[in-house]
Amino acid sequence: MPGGISHHAKDILFKSLSALYQNQALDVYGLHGLPRIKALLPNEFPSVRADERRADTVFLLEDDSILLLEYESNERFLDNHLKYLDYACRILHTYYQQEKRIRPIRIVVIYTSDVTSAREQLDAGDVFLSSKAVLLGEFNGDAIFHAIEEKVHNGEPLTPEETMKLILVPLMHTRFDRQTMIEKTIELAKAIGDEPKQLHIIAGVLTATDKFIDRSYAEKVKEWIKMNKVFRLLVEELEQEKEEMLKKVMQEKEQAVQRAIQEKEQAVQRVIQEKEQAVQRVMQEKEQAIKQTEKRKAIEIAKNLLDVLPIHEIAKRTGLTVAEVADLAKEMDK
């Protein structure tokens, strides 16, 4: 397909593919014994010339070697392997400039169902290139798709191996044409409940079928990915606003409760103060009443003693002042 995947969507696809392939074994390709995948590497290799070459997929394996994974639907063995030789030279040059060492390179070519046989060696004398061929025409894509489809419709999680196989189904031998199988695979991926795995599979299909997929359909799928991302962001934003609103309501409720408690405490304090003041008034009135009663008694006693004792003696015995006793004597004389 001319043009391939646009640069606009590469960041999403690269991140998704990185998460998909991380720590994956290559057994699904029939490549037993290779180290597990450590990381997905950039697949563009600028050179001193004005052009830029892009491999299909480049991996860093756990033994620090580099895996060049290519997808082909033709039997142009020499043309393709000269292309891989160019990729290998650029990879070696790029990483030698960065690290000052030569990294081992492994080349795996995934052939679609169009190819029934493949050569794995290019012998150019002192220059020798070897690759490993995987013929997807030997895989029953219909059976694999049907088995995975049942699991998806039953809500069962897919294993890593099933995820990888589903990505490659459009390139396997099936009764449908390739574009139809690409669309069926992507629609099935959309039905998967696990959103990250859903995106991983779609990104994997877009990458694996980059040379074969209908361009307009590929653009629609990438728009769907972007729209879903926008929708997820909107949902996250709404959830955040909801959480903030709930937090605000809880804070206001807590503040209202605190105010009510403070008002209640203040009301209780006022009642206590009023009761204390009332008790103090009663005690003062009682003391005054007692004092008045005692004084009346003292006056009565003083009146009775006026004819018996001198004024100063009466004052001493009754607690009245001499002046008060003298006034009583004057009143008695009248």
In this structure, what token pair is assigned to residue 287?
A: 């003391």
Q: Cα separation of 31 and 61, whole Å? A: 13
Predicted local distance difference test score (pLDDT) of residue 211: 80
| Rg of the Cα atoms in the chain | 49
- Quote the tokens at residue 235: 């949902």
Q: Two tokens at 90?
A: 């650029």
Containing 141, the helix (H) or strand (E) segment is helix 141-153
- pLDDT, one tens digit per residue, over 34-75 is 888 887 777 665 553 444 467 778 888 889 999 888 888 888
Q: Which residues have CB under 8 Å from 106's CB, separation 6+?
A: 34, 61, 65, 66, 67, 68, 132
Q: Highest mean pLDDT: which of 80-84, 162-166, 310-314, 316-320?
A: 80-84
**pLDDT one-digit tens code per residue, 101-120:** 999 999 999 888 888 999 99
Rounded to the nearest 5 percent, the helix, strand and coil shares of the chain are: 60, 15, 25
pTM of the model: 0.58
For the chain, the average pLDDT equals 81
Q: What is the pLDDT of residue 205?
A: 87
Q: How far apart are the first and last CA of the chain?
A: 141
Whether 11 shows a pLDDT value over 80: the answer reads no
Grade residue 315 by pLDDT with cuts at 50, 70 and 90: confident
